[in-house]
Chain A
Amino acid sequence: MAKILDGIRVFDLTIAAVGPWATKLLGAMGADVIKVEAPGGDRLSHAVPPMIKGSSVLYISANHSKRMIELDLKREADRAIALKIIARSDVFVQNMRPGTVERLGLGYDVVAKVNPRMIYVAASAYGRIGPMAGEAGIDPTVQSFCGWCGITGPDHGRGELFRHLAHLDLTTASTITQAVLQGLIARERTGRGQLIEIEMLTAAMALQTTRLAEYFATGEQPAPLGSAASTTAPHQAFECEDRRYLAIGVERDEQWPGFCRALKLDDLISEPRFATNPLRVKHRAELVPLVAERVKTKPSAWWTIRLNHENVPNGPFLTFAELRRHPQVLANGHIVEIDTPHWGRMHVDGLPWKFDATPAGPIRAGGKPGEHTVDVLAELGIVDERDAGRLR
């Protein structure tokens, strides 16, 4: 069956996680993604542990469904090859420090002259204007800067970083993929390419738009609330008799009576202090102890059965060991296993979307740096004169 991005070629000049993850998603949709690396590649991509058979997991993970070529863009012969590929590409993605790609002679102005239909994405941490223009950023520095440590932490305790140091990287990547698709739609309608600029900082702020809304409305910094939601209640973790925590979330008023019945707190259904979500949020300090005391009297499995019966959202705190064979995960391919030529069989993230008419995937392992240079150049009919030149 046809793939959504059949016939779309991506010139991928990305490093670390942000850019690579974005183009990997395009690859999963069927684009021909050609990842271009300098000999040796960037340190962050290749040296970050953990490693599998000598390759960084970060590199392996962010570069599925691509072909890998090596070009030393500081050399004229290599740059000439790059321009030939660019002339036959549809999308250009780069996330180097602002100014770097321009110094390599592949800024938007140059690329647009070679290929006016190019959709060119320039992604950066903090943008190319302002007092921090050109500064580099990685996930934890952007986490620190963007305010989200201030809303994450123990209940009214000290804010903390999210230790899976990739979430804002991948959020920015998602935004890039989305923007490329918008650019392709626009090009289909106007015939023209364009420049798209994306900063990690703005992407991180957009991800917090609901929480920033609280701040803009009140002028007060929202406090970390442990596991609790700020604008719905009860919506947090409760400890059960078996010492396991259960996540329970009442987000809609119609879930409230069922929640009370499940907990055998039927009296609360008609309690005026808790009649609507805004009232339950307002009286959270009175509501939560009543719930916590009741939940503590029975094991988590007991509550899950009762809450499921009333259709109230609830779930356990799972670990990877539980997730990897979880029937829900297996049935939907949320985590899958693939065979790779260099690294053996491995778990990888499943695709985040399903297309009925134009299925995405399957996920293909990428490769080692430069692995596909000869194939790609031969396929594009580009004569590689570099070796001849170097032999002279």
Chain B
Amino acid sequence: MSHAGSLDGFRVIDLTQGLCGPFCTMQLGDAGAEVIKIEPPAGDFARRMGPPFVAGESAVFLSLNRNKKSVVLDLETSSGRAAAARLARDTDVLVADFAPGAADGYGLAYGQLRAANPRLVYCSITPFGEDGPLRHSPGAELVIQAMAEYTASLGQIGDPPVRVGADIASLNTGIFAAQAILAALFHRLRSGEGQRVAVSEFGSLLHMRGIMWTSMSDPDDWYGFHLDHYTKPHDHGYRTKNGSMYFILRRGSSEDWDRLIMELGMEEVLADPRFADYGRAATSIGRYATEVKPIWEKAFANRTREELVDLIKSVGGDAVPIMDYPSLTTHPQTAALEATAEVDHPTAGRFTTVRPVARFSATPDSIRIPPPTLGQHTDEVLRPAGIAPSRSNT
């Protein structure tokens, strides 16, 4: 018991598909909850995301579904809906990503489940939020990023849009959903009361751009990295002899600054007011960083980025190479943090994934079971609940 996770003993019924809901419930599973993933007979649509596939399993699906058991129920049949409602009676948490209103049709809306399970924590995930003209509209990763204006901070005005490569609309929302569920569970532990909670992908991404909204409220000056990054060119970091790096000067002393400038042969900038205050406005988010970038890059052209990273760190700056996945995943720091974990899957074999992020000294998160094959646990879950798996519900 001493090393059980913080949600040990809690059960989660997961009626979500794709990326967002599954990322949420995976984190609850990492924390120790028993997660029952209800899938339609065709399976979660994320099972068909790809290529790449590993022995027939979608790599994307594998990355989002550890610590879960898969039960197939066809919610288009009355017996499938009845079985889901039966499972919802004895669970602590239910997570659903039905379109608003659709849950009622399945008999799986909070109002329909609450009487039989008043302690239930019910989480609804929607693309745009439960009110307003788009409450019934379907979402997709790019659609949410575009409407939340994330693409304004990428690419260049006039060029085709560029999205954030990571699936942020889905995954950041999955974190907020996990927060809402955890908060409601905490409330239940203290009060005995269950409740319904809700998150949306659009709302989540707009929340995460809040510094921008406040910046636009009535700034003293139309300058600042949360304003002018709208209109800046692509930011690729700084080119060096062998790749790009990123750096910022913010702690250095005058001796450090002099040494950096001498070392790089940039004495001419000492008379340039844009490099005042030891170059603090000349790098990173500094006011003149964009326009003086060519001056730095000229000095960096015949040095390797490893040399430059070391030099900049030695003068009190922060510097890192701009890395791709091969260099990230083999970097000694990533290894030291054990940021990745190996999981053995019954058919796909051993695969690598990112470990649970937070490290708890007393109730650690853990990876206990691999992502399930479709319906792998149908019998194991339904029989003890007194539900006979039958053709009509599997």
Nearest CB on B from A107, distance (A):
13
Docked pose: A356 CA to B193 CA in angstroms: 11
Docked pose: A212 CA to B339 CA in angstroms: 12
B31 close to A208 (CB less than 8 A):
no
Among residues 15 to 32 in chain B, which have CB atoms less than 8 Å away from a CB atom of chain A? 18-19, 23, 27, 31
A181 close to B183 (CB less than 8 A):
yes
Docked pose: A289 CA to B173 CA in angstroms: 32
Nearest CB on B from A330, distance (A):
7
A178 close to B218 (CB less than 8 A):
no
Given the interface pairs A52-B217, A138-B248, A147-B328, the reply to whether A2 lies near B191 with Cβ below 8 Å is: yes
B107 at the interface (CB under 8 A from A): no
B116 at the interface (CB under 8 A from A): no
Docked pose: A319 CA to B178 CA in angstroms: 29
Q: Which of A69-77, A167-175, A382-390 forms part of the interface with chain B?
A: A167-175
Given the interface pairs A43-B250, A253-B45, A315-B146, the reply to whether A61 lies near B354 with Cβ below 8 Å is: no
B337 close to A215 (CB less than 8 A):
no
Chain A residues whose CB sits within 8 angstroms of the CB of B327 once the complex forms = 147
B325 close to A150 (CB less than 8 A):
yes
B304 at the interface (CB under 8 A from A): no
B229 close to A207 (CB less than 8 A):
no
B336 close to A348 (CB less than 8 A):
no
B85 at the interface (CB under 8 A from A): no
Docked pose: A334 CA to B151 CA in angstroms: 18
A179 at the interface (CB under 8 A from B): yes
Contact for B285 among A150, A165, A178, A225, CB less than 8 A: A165
Given the interface pairs A50-B223, A188-B190, the reply to whether A353 lies near B60 with Cβ below 8 Å is: no
Chain A residues whose CB sits within 8 angstroms of the CB of B167 once the complex forms = 210-211
B164 close to A152 (CB less than 8 A):
yes
Q: Which of B206-214, B294-302, B374-382 forms part of the interface with chain A?
A: B206-214
Chain A residue with minimal CB distance to B110?
A356
Docked pose: A201 CA to B334 CA in angstroms: 8
Chain B residues whose CB sits within 8 angstroms of the CB of A127 once the complex forms = 333, 336-337
B293 at the interface (CB under 8 A from A): no
A29 at the interface (CB under 8 A from B): yes
Chain B residues whose CB sits within 8 angstroms of the CB of A197 once the complex forms = 358-359
Chain A residues whose CB sits within 8 angstroms of the CB of B363 once the complex forms = 182-183, 186, 190, 194
Bitwise interface map of B from 47 to 61 toward A, beta carbon under 8 Å scored 1, else 0:
011111110001110
B132 close to A332 (CB less than 8 A):
yes
A201 close to B337 (CB less than 8 A):
yes
Q: Which of A33-41, A234-242, A260-268, A371-379 forms part of the interface with chain B?
A: A234-242
Which of B62, B166, B190, B284 has the largest count of A CB atoms less than 10 A from its CB? B166
A103 at the interface (CB under 8 A from B): no
Contact for B199 among A161, A226, A353, CB less than 8 A: A353
Given the interface pairs A151-B165, A188-B189, A249-B141, the reply to whether A198 lies near B358 with Cβ below 8 Å is: yes
Docked pose: A135 CA to B162 CA in angstroms: 31
Docked pose: A235 CA to B138 CA in angstroms: 13
Docked pose: A328 CA to B133 CA in angstroms: 6
Contact for A276 among B48, B194, B224, CB less than 8 A: B48
A110 at the interface (CB under 8 A from B): no
Docked pose: A181 CA to B139 CA in angstroms: 29
B355 at the interface (CB under 8 A from A): yes
A334 close to B237 (CB less than 8 A):
no
B184 at the interface (CB under 8 A from A): yes
Nearest CB on A from B144, distance (A):
8
Among residues 324 to 353 in chain B, which have CB atoms less than 8 Å away from a CB atom of chain A? 324-329, 332-337, 339-340, 351-353
A312 at the interface (CB under 8 A from B): yes
A205 close to B339 (CB less than 8 A):
yes
Chain B residues whose CB sits within 8 angstroms of the CB of A331 once the complex forms = 129, 131-133, 135
Bitwise interface map of A from 221 to 232 toward B, beta carbon under 8 Å scored 1, else 0:
110111111011
Bitwise interface map of B from 90 to 131 toward A, beta carbon under 8 Å scored 1, else 0:
000000000000000000000000000000000000011111
Question: Could you list 7 A-B pairs, sorted by A, with CB under 8 Å?
Answer: A57-B219, A163-B154, A165-B229, A188-B189, A197-B358, A209-B64, A315-B143
